[in-house]
Amino acid sequence: MASLVIDEVFKRFGSVEVLKGINICIEPGEFLVLVGPSGCGKSTLLNLIAGLDSISAGEIRIGDRVVNAIPPKDRDIAMVFQSYALYPNMTIRKNLSFGLETRKVPKAEIEQQIEKVAEILQIENLLDRKPSQLSGGQRQRVAMGRAIARDPLIFLFDEPLSNLDAKLRVEMRAEIKKLHKRLGTTIVYVTHDQIEAMTMADRIAIMKDGVVQQFDTPNGVYSNPSNLFVAGFIGSPSMNFIPVSFEQQERSLGVVLTNSKGQECFIPVNSDFVPGQRAVMGIRPENITDTNAGLGNRQQIVELESEVRVIEPTGPDTLVHVELNSTEVICRSCPEFAGDAGASMKLALDTSKILFFDEESGERLDGRLS
């Protein structure tokens, strides 16, 4: 167990800057998830932590130790790779013991350690097989076993579940979480799957183009995203973004939503925007729903009517597509109250959950509605 500090880290490949000043700091035993779209530099950052690549500028500390110049083998870390990278010529037992043997751990101790790991991961019966004789899920377990056997300060995971089918992925997700509880080791976990990030992390770092967009708890990134990218990246279906402009009506400032039939609905805002200012309004699907949903505080609910374009039943919910301000908006409704396509439907919008973003920069504009 060790803390991890990533301090203003840059990485360049030739003239291409892949990481542009990363700052992340986690406590011992925390579960950090690095998430972001493909090519944003997650694996690169993980390789820097592991020491597989050299840092162009900045500093990485594991515990109290600056590890910039320390080779991977002396960093006391273990890593699980996306392709598992099991040594194909060795049995599973050998795979698990290779790192320990390299470190000259006494034989008896290695035996003991392997027994323990095999028991934790329930791979006792696989120990004498070769990797090619295992299923994807079993290989995944062995890859984790190899990391656990080493008992390192930090575990690094690079998209360990992306080669598994959907069902197995959900199972392994829970299992890794259990493992973390049991071992208490610091984990850095890379994924591009936001659900994995939300369900497993203590802290999430959302990256894009080599920059950390937000570093926060899962709840923080979900309910309090710092920009349009984060707001759109986390959550499924994605947050709705509706272009709006602020207007002064009677004595209050607010925004107007227009449905496809041209009916308008005014939503008052109580913070200091300027009339005429334009912005992007963000609202999650679950915060626009049927009027029967019983959203908490009645005072914050605005009701509006709209024509249903498409409905998508997902089982527990039905997603209703409507049009507001000429933008397609997805609402999450209870199946029994969802209207039919073409019909008109009454929607309830929870104004306390509305967020505003700058049109140009995508940054959060402060001041929620009240």
Partner 1 sequence: MDSTSTGTMSLPQMIGRASLYAILFLFALYFLAPLFIMVITSVKPMDEIRTGTLIALPKAPTLEPWLKAWGSATIGVANEGIKGFFMNSLRIAIPAVLISTLIGAVNGYVLSKWKFKGSDTFFAMLLMGCFIPFQVILLPMARTLGVLGLSGTVSGLVLVHTVYGLAFTTLFFRNFYVGIPDELVNAAKIDGAGFWRIFWKIMLPVSKPIFMVTIIWQTTQIWNDFLFGVCFSTGETQPVTVALNNLVNTSASVKEYNVDMAAAIIAALPTLFVYFAAGKYFVRGLTAGAVKG
Partner 2 sequence: MAELMRTAERSYNPFTILERVMPKLVVAPSFVAMLIFIYGFILWTVYISMSKSTFLPNYDFVGLVQYVRLWKIDRWYVACKNLLLYGGLFIAFCTAIGLLLAIFLDQKIRLEGALRSIYLYPLSLSFVVTGTAWRWMLNPGLGLERLVREMGWQSFSFDWLVNSDMAIYTIVIAAVWQSTGFVMAMFLAGLRGIDNSIIKAAQVDGASLPRIYLKIVIPSLRPVFFGSFIILTHIAIKSFDLVVVLTRGGPGYSTDLPATFMYAYAFTRGRLALGAASATMMFMMVMAIIVPYLYSELRSKANG
Ligand X SMILES: Nc1ncnc2c1ncn2[C@@H]1O[C@H](COP(=O)(O)OP(=O)(O)OP(=O)(O)O)[C@@H](O)[C@H]1O
Chain positions contacting partner 1, by CB under 8 A:
47, 50, 52, 71-73, 77-79, 81-83, 85, 87-90, 98-99, 102-103, 146, 150
Residue placing its CB nearer to ligand X in the complex, 229 or 273: 229
Using CB distances below 5 to 8 A depending on partner kind, what does residue 43 bind out of partner 2, Mg ion, partner 1, none? Mg ion
222, 334, 337, 335: which is closest to 282 by C-alpha? 222
**Whole-Å CA distances, 264 to 39, 301, 303, 325, 339:** 42, 16, 11, 9, 20
**Whole-Å CA distances, 358 to 43, 113, 279, 288:** 30, 55, 5, 22
Residue placing its CB nearer to ligand X in the complex, 39 or 136: 39
CB count, 10 Å around CB of 305?
Answer: 13
User: Whole-number minimum distance, CB 140 to partner 1, in Å?
Assistant: 14
| Binder of Mg ion out of 35, 40, 43, 324 (CB under 5 A) | 43
Residue placing its CB nearer to partner 1 in the complex, 78 or 221: 78
Task: Report phi then psi at 158, rounded to 5.
Answer: -110, 100
Binding site for partner 2 (CB under 8 A): 59, 66, 68-71
Using CB distances below 5 to 8 A depending on partner kind, what does residue 355 bind out of Mg ion, partner 2, partner 1, none? none
Residue placing its CB nearer to partner 2 in the complex, 73 or 261: 73
Rounded to whole angstroms, how far apart are CA atoms 269 and 86? Answer: 57
What are residue 301's DSSP bridge partners? 350
User: Whole-number minimum distance, CB 79 to partner 2, in Å?
Assistant: 19
User: Whole-number minimum distance, CB 68 to ligand X, in Å?
Assistant: 19
Using CB distances below 5 to 8 A depending on partner kind, what does residue 69 bind out of partner 2, partner 1, Mg ion, none? partner 2
Q: How many residues bind Mg ion (CB under 5 A)?
A: 1
**Is residue 47 at the binding interface for Mg ion, with CB under 5 A as the rule?**
no
Rounded to whole angstroms, how far apart are CA atoms 46 and 174? Answer: 22
What are residue 358's DSSP bridge partners? none
> To 5 degrees, how large is the angle CA 144–CA 146–CA 148?
70
Task: Report phi then psi at 201, rounded to 5.
Answer: -75, 150
User: Whole-number minimum distance, CB 194 to ligand X, in Å?
Assistant: 12
Residue placing its CB nearer to ligand X in the complex, 196 or 290: 196
Stretch that binds Mg ion, among 36-44, 134-142, 247-255, 308-316 (CB under 5 A): 36-44
User: Whole-number minimum distance, CB 42 to Mg ion, in Å?
Assistant: 5
Residue placing its CB nearer to partner 1 in the complex, 149 or 221: 149
Using CB distances below 5 to 8 A depending on partner kind, what does residue 99 bind out of partner 2, ligand X, partner 1, none? partner 1
Rounded to whole angstroms, how far apart are CA atoms 203 and 205? Answer: 7
User: Whole-number minimum distance, CB 145 to partner 1, in Å?
Assistant: 13
Rounded to whole angstroms, how far apart are CA atoms 283 and 353? Answer: 7
Residues 6+ positions from 16 with CB-CB distance below 8 Å: none
Binding site for ligand X (CB under 6 A): 13, 16, 18, 38-44, 192
User: Whole-number minimum distance, CB 83 to partner 1, in Å?
Assistant: 5
User: Whole-number minimum distance, CB 136 to partner 1, in Å?
Assistant: 15
Rounded to whole angstroms, how far apart are CA atoms 257 and 253? Answer: 14
Residue placing its CB nearer to ligand X in the complex, 157 or 273: 157
Rounded to whole angstroms, how far apart are CA atoms 56 and 316? Answer: 49
* Contact status, residue 194 vs residue 236, Cβ threshold 8 Å: yes
Scored b (16 or more CB within 10 A) or e, 330-347 reads: bbbbeeeebbeeeeebeb
Interaction site with Mg ion (CB under 5 A): 43
